[in-house]
Amino acid sequence: MSTWAIAAWLMLGGSTVLLFIGMPVALTFITVNIVGAWIYMGGEAGLAQLARSSVSSVTAFSLTPIPLFVLMGEILFHTGLALKVIEGIERLIRRVPGRLAVVAVVAGTVFSAISGSTIATTAMLGSLLLPVMLSKGYHPTLATGPIMAIGAVDMLIPPSALTVLLGSLSGISISKLLIGGVLPGLILSVAFVLWIILRVRITPALAPAHDDQELHTGWQRWKPFFAYVLPTLSIFGIVVGALAMGWATPTECAALGAFATIVLAACYRALTLEAVTKALKGTAGISGMILFIILGATTFAQILSFSGASNGIVQLITSQGWSTSAIVAGMMLMLIFLGIFVDQVSMMMITLPVFMPIVQSLGIDPIWFGVMFLICMQLGLLLPPHGLLLMTMRGVAPPAVTMAHIFQAVAPYVVMSLLLLAAVFWLPGIATRLPKMFG
């Protein structure tokens, strides 16, 4: 066996085994990195270089949007503005089959546009809307499915902390990757709404015929929309508009979005000391975890490259004579398979050091590849048995909702996400048109 193959088995195989036996992600890669640096980078000198690389990896300016995007969502949730947004959307949507399920999708899409956390969106909608839907007679599968599915879409629609992380680890333009996810995310949201309406029309017993608590008319119906929903959506317009037009970098857009969210909360007199404290604590916890993981991921890729494993794997794959489409399809299938077993950050850390050299070698459009990578990660959030959003829903759902209900509920949304992945694969413009349009 060649030297690079031994290095690949040690680094990739070792990290995969440690992840599967339950070792924390950051600790897994730090352990493998120490062993790899000692073997392939010259013992103590390698460990010293590992320490220097680790420090430089987490002080990169490109990572600054992550805590700022997370802060936007934390402020929104802890100040109670999220509740007002749900009320505004609920008053507008009426006389629609499965109305509250549709409200969950629309509200989740709005939150996706101003929150960087998929778990927070699912947990909030699950704790607020799920009990109401069940009390009104919604079937558990119809009540839980849309909430989990739209939580996953949070990853595609900016701002998204995981998109920034993917761009940082892969070297793909973060701003173009953020813009590239907008259209696929909106397509999925519309597909979810159409599916809910069609499903309830086919099987009316899944939802009550009329679930309006009270019928608001005139200005009372539209007042919460103009008072809360529209100002909140304006933050999305500010962030994505400045990003798309090239007026600001991703970091500047994130700072602008965080500032706008804080000002908006202050205008509603919701920015209490308690809310700010909770938001800052949540932001520090999530951001610290992500940065600690980046520390392990960056040095992992460097050791793979230094040992010759990256070049060896690229040459092995490109020498097989497979078409570019077949190689990309194989990479997507591997990501979907990994999504069944490991979390999204682990997927990036295991695959990007191998995938990105192949993408560069074959001249594959990195934005197209990056958006498909995001869709595969979004699928991983929903795939049984260990999908993160399935576990989140189990945590907030009442005992009457079983894991069987949750698995059954998520199935059609997984199929729709797979169809979107196929559409982007065959029609790259879905992912690349907006980034190209705005340069």
Q: What is the pLDDT of residue 365?
A: 93
Q: What is the pLDDT of residue 2?
A: 64
Whole-structure pTM value: 0.79
**Interatomic CA distance for residues 192 and 171, integer angstroms:** 32
Amino acid identity for residue 326 in this structure: A
**Interatomic CA distance for residues 44 and 208, integer angstroms:** 68
Cis amide prior to 357 (ω within 30 degrees):
no
Q: How many CB atoms lie within 10 A of CB 258?
A: 24
Residues 247-306 have pLDDT tens digits of 888 888 888 888 988 998 999 888 888 988 988 888 887 777 777 766 776 677 677 667
Residues of the chain falling short of pLDDT 70: 1-2, 4, 19, 25-26, 57-62, 115-117, 211-217, 293-294, 297-298, 301, 304-305, 309-311, 314, 318, 341-343, 385-386, 439
CB 376 within 8 A of CB 418: no
Q: What is the pLDDT of residue 243?
A: 80
Q: From 127, 199, 191, select the one nearest 153 (Cα to Cα).
A: 191
**Interatomic CA distance for residues 95 and 217, integer angstroms:** 13
Q: What is the pLDDT of residue 429?
A: 93
Residues 212-229 have pLDDT tens digits of 656 666 777 788 888 888
Give the C-alpha distances (Å, rounded to integers) separating 283 from 161, 168, 276, 293: 11, 19, 10, 15
CB 181 within 8 A of CB 163: yes
